[in-house]
Structure 1
Amino acid sequence: MYTKIIVICFIPLLIFTGCQQSEGQEVELTISTAASLIDVMEEIAEDYEKEHSVSITLNAGSSGKIAQQIQQGAPVDAIISADEQWTNRLAEGEHIHTDTQQAIVENTLVLIASEGNNKSIEHLAQLSIKDDASIVIGDPDSVPAGKYARQSLQQAGIWEDIEDHLVYANDARQVLTYVESNNADFGLVYTSDAMVSEQVKVINEVGANTHDTIVYPAAVTSQSTNPDEAEAFLDSLQSEETQEIFKSYGFKLEQE
């Protein structure tokens, strides 16, 4: 069985007829996930499908966009965001079951460059003197990685100096693509993103005290047609075995 992945910015809205799953029939779940989770979630979803009568479709995008899809009534069973801000907004609008909210894992932020880039940066503040350098971050208004990047650059006191040199990406993975293709000299991404690419190198680990804690909250949506199965899947993400899979992809476990 193969997990279906949708990396898009829009899910067509469907009209639900209220049909019930017949006994023994495979349950279909659509999980909207932050773009930075797509690689690890593909492995986790495939493992879960092998043990359960469930077919999982992953819809990946920026946390802001996948939250907006749910606000618009998209047929999604659960969301895993990269920022509590967006799940809190969904809770305020009664778009998720708040009793299913849970933090899954955490992440850290790093500064990357392409493997062929010989420029050295020991501290973020040094970016302000690289006047000819282009820097890519996620759009801070919709991409959590971009919001955290802006916080760190503000903390370093260089945001205003380099703002004109910034390129905004649609999600965390697009930041990686810009640097891989040498369309930007530097990028601020999650550690987990940097680990999946052999074409970039980490040149600076950003201090966790320079930005909000990077946590991935999850919840079952109010429009889910299979809320019990969706919650069971989210609960499975807390298992020791699954948490170790997250760790192998560069994510940080909450207890660490």
Structure 2
Amino acid sequence: MRLRPFVALLLLTGASAASAADLVVSAASSLTDAFQAVGKAYEAKHPGTHVVLNFAASDVLLRQIASGAPADVFASADQTAMDKAVAAKAIDPSTRKDFASNRLVLVVPQDSKATIGSPADLKADSVKRVAYGDPASVPVGRYTRAALEQQGLWDAVSAKGVLAQNVRQSLDYVARGEVDAGFVFATDAAILKDKVKVAATVPTPKPITYPIAVVAGSKQPADAAAFEAFVQSAEGRKILSGFGFEAP
């Protein structure tokens, strides 16, 4: 089995990060651990296939795909990014399916002494820095902004905002104690239980759902469709569930 990191910068040199035999799966950062396990399980059932996993913020992945980066499957952390992929004709819309759901949580450093039990507590003068994904390009940031706007807290919290390039960077800021609090997905918070603690589960106006689709430019659409089907299979859902993802 072979799971290799995708290096998008190779495109700048004209080199390709994936060979013809590789199945390139571009997936949202929050799927990192779960899709590494899914990839290994898929390879076990398809010995001739090498799954190359490329993780980044969903909008960044879409820009890579639209720019011609090798990709066969696109898995996004929100519908907005996938809608953009449809508009850009970057994916085959007939293959678009929702395969998982998640929750938005507010986390603080494990050793935090601050009294933070809800997003409203972030207005306190003692709270100086709050991390969340950039709403312009990161799904968790869009969910965060919508949730805070719904509660009338966006202006107050964004004034203290520390923008992250993806959800894992937001998690790292909190884990390292570089911010007082941060917004991440529940599945991300579960990965660093020893370094962060969940202060609150934050309701979002729209459910947090993950769509997946075959990339329009895939040179192996049948294999890409097979991977997508595996993700939605009973075995795939069991793996995702093990990492905290819920059914769509």
TM-score where L is the length of structure 1: 0.89
Percent identical across equivalent pairs?
A: 32
Give the equivalent residue in structure 2 for 1:143.
138
Structure 1 pair 11/244, CA: closer, same or farther in 2 (3 Å)?
Answer: farther
CA distance in 1 between partners of 2:33 and 2:130 (Å): 24
2:164 paired with 1:169: yes
Letter in 1 for 2:239: I
Q: Please give the residue correspondences for 1:51-66 in structure 2 after superposition, counting only pairs within 5 Å.
A: 51-52=45-46, 53-66=48-61
Residue by residue over 1:43-71, the C-alpha shift from the partner in whole angstroms, topping out at 9 and shown as x without a partner, is: 11011101102100001000010001111
Letter in 2 for 1:217: P
Structure 1 pair 201/9, CA: closer, same or farther in 2 (3 Å)?
Answer: farther
Structure 1 pair 241/182, CA: closer, same or farther in 2 (3 Å)?
Answer: same
> Which one of 92, 113, 119 corresponds to residue 114 of structure 2?
119
CA distance in 2 between partners of 1:126 and 1:105 (Å): 30
Contact in 2 for aligned 1:139/1:146 (Cα 8 Å): yes
5+ residue gaps, structure 2:
none
> Which one of 110, 128, 138 corresponds to residue 123 of structure 2?
128
> Which one of 230, 234, 239 corresponds to residue 245 of structure 1?
239
Letter in 2 for 1:201: K
User: Tell me, what secondary structure is at the counterpart of 1:237?
Assistant: helix
Contact in 1 for aligned 2:25/2:73 (Cα 8 Å): yes
TM-superposed CA distance for 1:112, in Å, is 0.4
- Aligned pair count reads 243
Give the equivalent residue in structure 2 for 1:102.
97
2:236 paired with 1:204: no
TM-score where L is the length of structure 2: 0.92
Letter in 2 for 1:30: V
Give the equivalent residue in structure 2 for 1:71.
66
Residue by residue over 1:190-213, the C-alpha shift from the partner in whole angstroms, topping out at 9 and shown as x without a partner, is: 000001112111111112xx3321
Structure 1 pair 130/9, CA: closer, same or farther in 2 (3 Å)?
Answer: farther
Letter in 1 for 2:242: S
Structure 1 pair 127/183, CA: closer, same or farther in 2 (3 Å)?
Answer: same
CA distance in 2 between partners of 1:223 and 1:10 (Å): 19
5+ residue gaps, structure 1:
22-26
User: Tell me, what secondary structure is at the counterpart of 1:219?
Assistant: strand
Structure 1 pair 155/131, CA: closer, same or farther in 2 (3 Å)?
Answer: farther
Contact in 2 for aligned 1:107/1:252 (Cα 8 Å): yes
Give the equivalent residue in structure 1 for 2:190.
195
Contact in 2 for aligned 1:103/1:216 (Cα 8 Å): yes
User: Tell me, what secondary structure is at the counterpart of 1:149?
Assistant: helix
> Which one of 19, 25, 35 corresponds to residue 41 of structure 1?
35
CA distance in 2 between partners of 1:246 and 1:189 (Å): 17
Structure 1 pair 11/215, CA: closer, same or farther in 2 (3 Å)?
Answer: farther
Residue by residue over 1:7-58, the C-alpha shift from the partner in whole angstroms, topping out at 9 and shown as x without a partner, is: x665617699xx9x7xxxxx31011000000111001101110110210000
TM-superposed CA distance for 1:122, in Å, is 2.4
Give the equivalent residue in structure 1 for 2:83.
88
